[in-house]
Amino acid sequence: MSILIKNGRIITAADDYIADIFIEGEKIKMIGSTLDVKADKIIDAKNKLVMPGGIDPHVHLDMPFMGTFSSDNYETGTRAALFGGTTMVIDFILQTQGKSLYSALNEWKGRSDGNAVGDYSFHMAVTDFNENTKEEIKDMIEKEGITSFKTFMAYKGALMIDDRQMVGLMNEVKTRGGMVTVHATNGDMIDFLVNKHKAEGKLSPLYHYISQPEITEAEATGRFADMAYYTGCPAYVVHMTCEGALNHIRAVEKRNQKVYVETCIQYLVLDASLYDKGFESAKWVMSPPLREKKDQATLWAGINQGTVQIVATDHCPFMWKQKLMGENDFSKIPNGHPAIENRMELLFSEGVNKGKITLNKFVEVTSANPAKIFGMYPEKGCIAVGSDADIIIIDPNENHTISAKTHHMNVDYSAYEGWELKGKIKTVILRGTVAVDNNELKIAKGYGKFIKRKKSVGII
């Protein structure tokens, strides 16, 4: 199968030019100003933008969590991602405390194998670091292509590890050439505040937000950066939300340390005023919670200053009846919100079309940087001869409205219901095959491939 994309405006993290792209099999074979070559399919991309497929490095599909499972599985989640221009996701395996990393890997393979529509990979969340876990790190990196290890400084009693385990893990991961990533919030402080509010009978979703003040994230981010500095381990903070946390990262740059930072689309475009809606606010109960306008301004600035490298989603959807598990107690509301399908178009509309970021920056934070930081570049994250033909074609001027009635995620509400966006994903190509065209799916479950990742080269 071959495809010729003609007359498109090609945007990568570094380039912006009009040219044709010839795809053969799964790869980009030629790029030229006017390619005179026969192809099985010709796509006219005149007046459209042609970009590398989005990579969302933070999603939770079919994940056992807070007594239930996230409602998108590998089929529905990766399919919705494709409709929104994301051709690859990185999901999280959660080690069960007391069990091995391999038993968790096998459990996650059982749910994902043969079920994905789009490409995917895994981070390994280490929730119990001990002598046995330590032995498995090398094989995860070298045999399984899982080169990043997630840690939780919160979710006390379930996923949280202490600083002793963190330092031990960092030492081992550094030695083996991997990276440690973190959910950086102070689990003990949050536990104290949750219990205090419950004891006072303050049980509405608002108290989820009040139980996780900015300082809980800022403190843990600084502590994590210090442990990474001490051990010399490559480090990455997931879903950063606030000024206090980013200021810690800005500060450690002065001692020549690099800590990578991811934020998520919701922290850029939504704010904590949504916690004022009674139980409806459960739609936005996620951890960390939404913050203030001043935090949004800091995150947009961080993107343009290069201290925030990635915009992900932390996609972790739950049906409304699952959210109702916490109707009388905010601490029982499953944490998470749906965004896997909305990330690219929201960032394009709110970021590029409103003049907050450039087109090149858009590609950098949605595709090129995830590929570089997580060991997939230049196979993914760019448009170049020899790269995987993961390509999206965007009409930058088409208007559309987000709604749960039309989205493809397996969740019965939208966190962005009624939002009017400018800029629409028209065609999505995944490894040389048209996956979505004009809102129609062209591939099926099983097309999505597990991508073994290399060691990170970082951003150079």
Closest to ligand DUC by CB, 124 vs 316, is 316
Distance between CA atoms of 244 and 385, rounded to whole angstroms?
Answer: 42
Q: Which does 323 bind (CB under 5 to 8 A by kind): Zn ion, ligand DUC, none?
A: none
Closest CA to 307 of 277, 262, 373, 374: 262
Of residues 183, 248, 323, 343, which one binds ligand DUC by CB under 6 A?
A: 183
User: What are the start-end ranges of the H helices in 204-289?
Assistant: 206-210, 214-231, 243-252, 265-269
Please, what is the minimum distance in Å from the beta carbon of residue 264 to Zn ion?
9
Closest to ligand DUC by CB, 66 vs 140, is 66
Residue 262 binds ligand DUC (CB under 6 A): no
Residue 291 binds ligand DUC (CB under 6 A): no
Of residues 287, 298, 313, 366, which one binds ligand DUC by CB under 6 A?
A: 287
Residue 95 near residue 127 (C-beta atoms within 8 A) = yes
SS3 415: coil
Enter the tokens of residue 377: 């570049």
Closest to ligand DUC by CB, 20 vs 314, is 314
Residue 72 binds Zn ion (CB under 5 A): no
Enter the tokens of residue 301: 């600035």
Please, what is the minimum distance in Å from the beta carbon of residue 69 to ligand DUC?
12
Of residues 48, 183, 408, 424, which one binds Zn ion by CB under 5 A?
A: 183
Length of the chain: 460
Residue 314 binds Zn ion (CB under 5 A): yes
Site string for ligand DUC, 325-364 (x = CB under 6 A): ----------xx----------------------------
Residue 341 near residue 409 (C-beta atoms within 8 A) = yes
Residue 286 binds ligand DUC (CB under 6 A): yes
SS3 236: strand
Enter the tokens of residue 11: 């945007």
Residue partners of 110: CB distance under 8 A and separation at least 6: none
Residue 151 near residue 186 (C-beta atoms within 8 A) = no
Please, what is the minimum distance in Å from the beta carbon of residue 286 to ligand DUC?
3
Distance between CA atoms of 113 and 452, rounded to whole angstroms?
Answer: 14
Closest to ligand DUC by CB, 12 vs 121, is 121
Residues near ligand DUC (CB under 6 A) are 60, 183, 286-287, 314, 316, 335-336
